[in-house]
């Protein structure tokens, strides 16, 4: 199955719009594992095993592994997901953004080395920085659009006087992704949960694209507002929570606590969906 088929299947099978972000910080590991970067695979694999029936996707963040020279553990983790949760798609959170042969290598890294189903990208350098990822049929590519960090205003909320209608930059990205850039139906958008009004605006401009929405949980995004703003029958949402789930407990029961928090978050999202139906 391609990425969108996997996403629809996992969403239906697990009755879930929740994505668990896998951002392993050894300094927050439980007990004897604390500070031990060699345990990144073990920690994340335990989270996967305890939450795979509750999620529509997993989103490993490559920087957490690369900072510790743990890319081999990331490879093992994706292999583990494919073996033990083959119905759940993997979004590699890499936020790559380069052109030409370099972009081709980054695409090869994401889809051939790691075997991810989708990847996050920065569109700042234009379509030729996105195109190499679209050469992989069935793979997904999520473009940063309206991110949850305060500094996103520095560029994303600026008006483009040279574009008809003078849209904000994030609005222009949404239109491009819904329209001319989405040649093979592979694109989605990243929109932060901390800006529900912007989620609604992006959804109006990109009614059919999948939206990857980080920021629920530790960053303070509201689950109900996120679902109301972004979910449409023809446009799925993938609501990510990372730290609130990964570090629900710092004790030996961390995986069970992560499952309990994932279940709570999934059910809160589903309750919001029921209220907006």
| Active site residues per annotation | 95
CB 143 within 8 A of CB 212: no
* Three state DSSP letters for 60-129: EEHHHHHCCCCHHHHHHHHHHHHHHCCCCCEEEEEEECCCHHHHHHHHHHHHHHCCCCEEEECCCCCHHH
The answer for residues whose C-beta is within 8 angstroms of residue 276's C-beta and 6 or more apart is 227, 228, 231
Q: How far apart are CA 35 and CA 14, in angstroms?
A: 33
């Amino acid at each position: 199955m391609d990425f969108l088929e996997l996403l629809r299947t996992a969403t239906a099978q697990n009755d879930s719009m929740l994505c668990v972000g896998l951002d392993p910080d050894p300094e927050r590991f439980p007990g004897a594992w604390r500070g031990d970067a060699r345990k990144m695979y073990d920690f994340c694999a335990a989270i996967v095993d305890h939450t795979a029936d509750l999620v529509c996707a997993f989103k490993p963040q490559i920087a957490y592994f690369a900072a510790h020279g743990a890319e081999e553990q990331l490879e093992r983790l994706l292999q583990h997901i494919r073996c033990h949760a083959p119905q759940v798609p993997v979004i590699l959170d890499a936020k790559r953004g380069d052109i030409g042969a370099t972009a081709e290598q980054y695409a090869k890294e994401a889809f051939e080395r790691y075997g991810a189903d989708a990847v996050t990208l920065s569109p700042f350098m234009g379509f030729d920085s996105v195109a190499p990822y679209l050469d992989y049929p069935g793979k997904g590519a999520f473009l940063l659009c309206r991110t949850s960090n305060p500094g996103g205003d520095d560029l994303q909320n600026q008006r483009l006087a040279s574009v008809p209608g003078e849209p904000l930059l994030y609005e222009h990205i949404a239109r491009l992704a819904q329209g001319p850039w989405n040649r093979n139906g592979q694109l989605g958008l990243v929109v932060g949960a901390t800006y529900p009004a912007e989620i609604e605006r992006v959804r109006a401009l990109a009614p059919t694209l999948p939206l990857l929405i980080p920021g629920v949980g530790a960053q303070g995004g509201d689950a109900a507002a996120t679902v109301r703003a972004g979910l449409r029958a023809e446009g799925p949402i993938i609501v990510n929570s990372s730290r609130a789930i990964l570090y629900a407990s710092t004790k030996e029961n961390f995986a069970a606590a992560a499952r309990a928090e994932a279940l709570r978050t999934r059910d809160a999202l589903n309750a919001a969906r029921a209220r907006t139906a």
